Chain A
Amino acid sequence: EDKVVQSPLSLVVHEGDTVTLNCSYEVTNFRSLLWYKQEKKAPTFLFMLTSSGIEKKSGRLSSILDKKELFSILNITATQTGDSAIYLCAVLKGAQKLVFGQGTRLTINP
Chain B
Amino acid sequence: DAGITQSPRYKITETGRQVTLMCHQTWSHSYMFWYRQDLGHGLRLIYYSAAADITDKGEVPDGYVVSRSKTENFPLTLESATRSQTSVYFCASSESGTGNTIYFGEGSWLTVV
What is A's interface to B at a CB cutoff of 8 Å? 4, 6, 31-32, 34, 41-45, 48, 88, 90, 92, 95-103
Contact = CB atoms under 8 A, between A and B. Distances in A.
Please indicate which of the listed interface residues B41, B43, B97 has the most CB atoms of chain A within 10 Å of its own CB.
Answer: B43
Interface stretch (B10-18, B79-87, B99-107): B99-107
B34 interface: no
B66 to A, nearest CB: 15
Nearest to A33: B99
B94 A96 contact: yes
B44 interface: yes
Contacts of B59: 99
A96 to B, nearest CB: 3
Contacts of A102: 40-42
Interface in B7-28: none
A1 B81 CA distance: 27
Contacts of A43: 43, 90, 104
Given A42-B105, A90-B99, A101 B94 contact: no
B107 A103 contact: no
16 contacts: A4-B42, A45-B100, A45-B102, A48-B98, A48-B99, A90-B99, A96-B31, A96-B48, A96-B97, A97-B58, A98-B33, A98-B45, A99-B45, A100-B42, A100-B44, A102-B41
